[in-house]
Amino acid sequence: MNSVVCIAHVPDTESRIKIAADGRKVDEAGIKFIVSPYDEFALEEAIRLKEKSPGDVTVITFGPDRAQQALREALARGATKALHVKGEASDADSLGVAKVLAAAIKSVPHDVVFFGKQGVGTDNGLVGPMVAELLGYPQVNVVTHLEVADSKLTAHREIEGAEEIIEAPTPAVITAQKGLNEPRYASLKGIMAAKKIAIDVKSVADLGLDEGDIFNKRVVVVSMETPPEKSGGKKIDGGDPNVAAQAILKFIREEAKAL
């Protein structure tokens, strides 16, 4: 069984975000980048599939030089091959990114294509389904349980207050939700072994794509701004539970008008 896992390299969720001088981008100076948290569940699932039924786990990322760190991390955890498509992915809209990844995915063998359900930070949640459409594959989004056997998969999809069980033939696109599994850490042995694996590097042009169709198209950032900071409202002493409950009740009734 061969899998592809598409990985985004994103600012650590604890980062302080500053807007760059052009007012349209995030200033990357001083930010620590990590593997997008949902992509960790995607990677773990692919590694588990490989452990059950041998094959390759190819990790692919589209991003600048620093994004190779994400691939190294994935290799250290158990991915077997890595492909870095070099480019300023933050200048591409989601469909641009999807076109790049779809072309890259086509170049490697795969039965299942994994994504995180969204890239943490940008939180679009668009690229996985877009890639599925571009490749003509079925998709199951926000997956919390997965079984793959005999060119068929069964996936549990989380929806509002319920769960759908979906069957689809492979190849297919899966986007991973928290709860799909418990991602492992990289072992020292894994880190050492990963260093010996060469990362394949390609450009957007190498994939046969027109850069004009990838960057600054379709969705364009006009401006970014930081929201006004909340200063906090009224603070009261809740030592007496009756007094506290009455104050909350009054707020719910008069301010929120929820009673």
Q: Are 86 and 199 in contact (CB under 8 A)?
A: no
In the structure encoding, which two tokens stand for residue 211, read together?
A: 């850069």
Stretch that binds another protein, among 1-9, 54-62, 203-211, 223-231 (CB under 8 A): 223-231
Interface pattern 203-222 for another protein (x via CB under 8 A): --------------xxxxxx
Exactly one of 127, 143, 176, 194 binds another protein (CB under 8 A); that residue is 127
Residue 223 sits in the site that holds another protein (CB under 8 A) = yes
Of residues 150 through 169, those in contact with another protein by CB under 8 A are 154, 157-169
Q: Considering the complex, state which of residue 188 and residue 241 has its C-beta at the smaller distance from another protein.
A: 241
- Please report how close the Cβ of residue 82 comes to another protein at its closest, in angstroms: 24
Q: Are 77 and 24 in contact (CB under 8 A)?
A: no
Residue 256 sits in the site that holds another protein (CB under 8 A) = yes
Q: Considering the complex, state which of residue 134 and residue 191 has its C-beta at the smaller distance from another protein.
A: 134
In the structure encoding, which two tokens stand for residue 259, read together?
A: 């009673």
- Please report how close the Cβ of residue 223 comes to another protein at its closest, in angstroms: 5
Of residues 43 through 82, those in contact with another protein by CB under 8 A are none
The helix-helix angle for 188-195 and 68-77 (nearest 10°) equals: 130
- The Cα 42–Cα 78 span in angstroms is 12
178-200 burial: b if 16+ Cβ within 10 Å, else e? eebbebeebeeebeeebeeeeeb
